[in-house]
Chains A and B, each alone.
Chain A
Amino acid sequence: MSENKSANDVKASRSISMGDIDLTFKYEMSEVPGFEKLRLCFQCGSCTADCPIARFSELYHPRKLMRMTQLGMKNRVIGSEALWLCAACFTCVDHCPQGVDIAGVIRALRNIAVREGVVPQVFRELTNNILTTGYAYKIPEMRHKKRAERGLPDLPKANTGDVAKLFDVLAVSKFAKKEK
């Protein structure tokens, strides 16, 4: 994904029409973990000012994402590449004078995006790896062999049956990358 292109797209579509706005969104979401205090955000911009990613990105400004979410610009937020640029360092969460869980709002928005099918490939792969191996990364056979050679204990085995059951209950399995 090219950041500059997306940033230009956002600039080109600055105007907002009422059709972009879902007036009930903030009420629907008020019970979702992370969203509890979103309505208290008064746009001071501490989150963006202290964000290490925002120092190097034209596109990612947490303050903007908070405002757009408050206004109910659901589709614009869900479809934005910016949503996936938060590194979850939690600096903004510690610094917000209103106690808004900014990283929690972003996480909850990502969860909605996933359910609507908008998810970067890397998250499908991570989900699939956990589902099939228990580990977030596919650990090559070579690594296992090398552990033995250097006297490290075998890696603990995963209970993939349990993980699959849990993922089924939560309907997460379907977001995993389809095996070819």
Chain B
Amino acid sequence: MKYLLFLGCAVPYRMPSYEVSARKVLERLGVELEEMPEFNCCGLPIDSVDHDAMMVLAARNLCLAEQKGLDILTLCPGCAGTLRKVNKSLSEDKKLKEHINAILKEIGMQFEGGKIRVLHLIQALSEDVGFDKIKEAVVKPLTDLQVTEHNGCHILRPAKYIGFDDPENPVILKKLIEATGAKCLDYMYETDCCGAPIVGVNDKIPLHLAGDKLRNIKAVNAQALITVCPFCHMMFDINQPRIERLLNEKFAIPVLHYPQLLGLAMGIDPKELSLDELRVDATNITNTK
């Protein structure tokens, strides 16, 4: 099993702990990763500036994957959602493909379509690696642990482009968490966005939104929150002290990247999974048997 790793911008910029733990876990599961030969942003951040610019940036990355003949694996749901949507739209809409290819001609590239898949980490784990193989790799089941999950929006929505899991009642990340032996609890407003995409325009609304989610997570006595997105992780982990000050409430909820949780269950040393780099102290998790 081999993928072209599309790392994106936010992971190398702010979330090395996500990359380190994901690479470690994938290696253990026998997944081979090849680095992108060249990189440009997936296009999502400039969809608001120019829709065509988003599509050509995405298509350029898709062309590179087509040339390699490899499926793309991403850690960021934003990249996954964007590349997936453009891959699907251009493959199915001949007129749109001609329009984008006319622009790509300027740089000597052409998108073919229907040749490669784009998968987010949890899709590759659930569909390609499979739950059986993950359960086999678990040597230290985290049976004493009760956690909650937060899916990144773009892993699930819009349903008509993404077609993964049930956006109204997502269960795949929950099943992946339960494969580690931990229990995954439900909580209020579980599928709501974390607010991160508008931080650059208005930071109060996202802090209130993420704070409301943390309050609901605390209400069910979860010992941790599990994320699969660098932006969601930034909101819940890096911004947690800011949210606590703003709302004058104490949460102290450790926020782990899913591969960190899986890595612990695989018996990998917490330091090798960069658990010491989390803003909110997670020693209560690493000490759990």
Contact = CB atoms under 8 A, between A and B. Distances in A.
A is bound by B: yes
Interface of A: 1, 3, 33-34, 52-53, 55-57, 60, 81, 84-91, 93-94, 101, 103, 107-108, 110-111, 114, 119-120, 122-123, 126-127, 130, 134-137, 139, 143, 146-147, 150, 152-153, 155-159, 162-163, 165-167, 169-170, 172, 175
B16 A136 contact: no
B13 A137 contact: yes
Lowest 7 A-B CB distances belong to which pairs? A122-B200, A89-B193, A90-B157, A156-B39, A136-B9, A89-B153, A52-B192
A152 B36 CA distance: 14
Contacts of B192: 52, 89, 91
A123 B197 contact: no
Given A53-B198, A163-B40, A165-B106, A155 B209 contact: no
B185 interface: no
B57 interface: yes
B193 A91 contact: yes
B35 interface: yes
Contact of B45 (A33, A57, A126): A126
Interface in B146-176: 153-154, 157-159, 167-168
A137 B51 contact: no
Contacts of A120: 200-201
B60 A172 contact: no
Contacts of A135: 9, 12-13, 39-41
B50 A114 contact: yes
A65 to B, nearest CB: 14
Contacts of B153: 87-91
Contacts of B209: 52-53, 55-56
B40 A158 contact: yes
A57 B209 CA distance: 10
B50 A170 contact: yes
B48 A123 contact: yes
Contacts of A119: 49
Contacts of B45: 123, 126, 130, 136
B7 interface: yes
B39 A110 contact: no
Given A55-B212, A91-B191, 18 more contacts: A3-B204, A52-B192, A53-B195, A60-B205, A84-B201, A86-B198, A87-B195, A88-B47, A93-B158, A94-B159, A136-B10, A143-B12, A163-B57, A165-B106, A166-B57, A166-B60, A170-B50, A172-B49
B106 A169 contact: yes
A134 B48 contact: no
B9 A156 contact: no
Contacts of A126: 45-46, 49
